Amino acid sequence: MSLRKGLPVKTLFYLTVAIVLAALPILIRSNYWIGTVNLAIIYSIAVLGLNIILGLTGQLNIAQAAFWGIGAYTAALLNTRLGWPFWATFLVAPPTAAAFGVILGFPTLRLSGRYLAMATIGFGIIINLILNNWKEFTGGVDGIPGIASPVLGPLRFSTNASFYYLALVCLILAALTQVRIKNSRMGRAFRAIKDNELAAELSGVDTFKYRVVAFALCSAYGGLAGQLFAHRTKYVSAETFFIDMSILFICMLMIGGAGSVAGSIVGASLLTFIPEWLRFLQGPWAMAIFGLAIVVIMIFMPTGLAGLVKSLGSKMAVRLGPDAHREPTELPRKASH
């Protein structure tokens, strides 16, 4: 019943959002701000990945930046050393990152909670240190410059505005994929594992398999984000991928609302824009305020923005679309015994 009533409002909302998104580069003239939007989109994809492992499956992964880094470096190396074009790195970077995700996810199956968090931290640091120090392969501290802008056939995405559309499409696909996963049998399995791993196993869920799959999906998303980042900034270096960034992703997820697809995107966007808005202050001022803000938000908004919206939203309010659980509208009637 609420579904019926909400339908026209929902469509209107979606339509407005679609129009705004499509026209964004026109609405925002500043090249700098479009660039920031692009960054927000790329971060959103990384955070969406984190949402799968942490938000849905409840496993503490503090190494998402490492997978971002792996994706970025894979793209950078393939592009600058072997001349591979964008679509090729697009196809290779996420699976490469996913492979590393399995390398991390598989041996850590026995661990949980704090121990798993520790292991992921260690993993992330090792990856970071290797990328930073292996001069011959990764360029060491200097990184890898000269990555080409994306080219797809006749289309060149060398401006911020054009890249925006490319990134937006990727984000939409990434989000849609996750919504489908979340509402599927697989999504249920993830959520069951988060809620009560033993009960999940005893309901028939192969918890080991799904934990590894969750890691692989998370790192694939991270790798995709990294690949996009590499082609956007045309330069990668390991400094950017330090553990700070993994933690930043977690903050983005917590603030947006862990478990929520829309929340992941909102959280990532907010935490991209706020520091940028604060950038008119001297660098460290912005970061210091940012740090303080994180503490404050953690104290006063534990379920993140998505949780806030959910609790504020009554049956009349517009629900953030991708969030809705798929429910049967009516139970089929069967003859009783």
Binders of another protein in range 95-124 (CB under 8 A): 107-108, 110-111, 113-115, 117-119, 121-123
Q: Where are the beta strands (DSSP E) in the chain?
A: 144-145, 151-152, 155-156, 235-236
Q: Does 292 bind another protein (CB under 8 A)?
A: yes
Least Å distance between CB 126 and another protein?
A: 5
What is the token pair recorded at 259?
């478990």
Footprint of another protein on 13-42 (CB under 8 A): none
Stretch that binds another protein, among 78-86, 152-160, 240-248, 313-321 (CB under 8 A): 240-248
Helix 185-195 and helix 207-233: axis angle, to 10°? 110
Q: Does 291 bind another protein (CB under 8 A)?
A: yes
Q: Which is nearer to another protein, 23 or 107 (CB)?
A: 107
Please select the residue that binds another protein; options are 42, 60, 236, 306, rule is CB under 8 A: 60
Torsions phi, psi for 149 (to 5 deg): -65, 155
> Residue 196 interacts with another protein (CB under 8 A)?
yes
Q: Is 236 helix (H, G, I), strand (E, B) or coil?
A: strand
Q: Count of residues for the chain?
A: 337
Nearest alpha carbon to residue 269 among 252, 292, 248, 294 = 252
Among 149, 162, 207, 233, binds another protein (CB under 8 A): 207
DSSP assignment of 298-316? HHH-TTHHHHHHHHH--TT
Residue numbers 318-337 binding another protein by CB under 8 A: 325-328, 331-332, 334, 336-337
3-state helix, strand, coil in the chain (%, to 5): 75, 0, 20
Q: For 20-129, where are the E strands, in sequence order?
A: none
Q: Give yes or no for residue 129 binding another protein (CB under 8 A).
A: yes
Task: Please give the span between the terminal C-alpha atoms of the chain, in angstroms, as a whole number.
Answer: 29
Q: Which of 18, 81, 277, 302 binds another protein (CB under 8 A)?
A: 302
Contact flag: residue 4 with another protein (CB under 8 A)? no
Residue 189 binding another protein, by CB under 8 A: yes
282 binds another protein (CB under 8 A): yes
Min dist. Cβ of residue 95 to another protein (A) = 13
Burial level of 294, CB count in 10 A (0-12/13-18/19+)?
A: middle
Which of residues 198 and 312 has its CB atom nearest to another protein in the complex? 198
Instruction: Report the residue from 213, 214, 228, 230 that binds another protein according to the rule CB under 8 A.
Output: 213
CB of 116 to another protein, least distance (A): 8
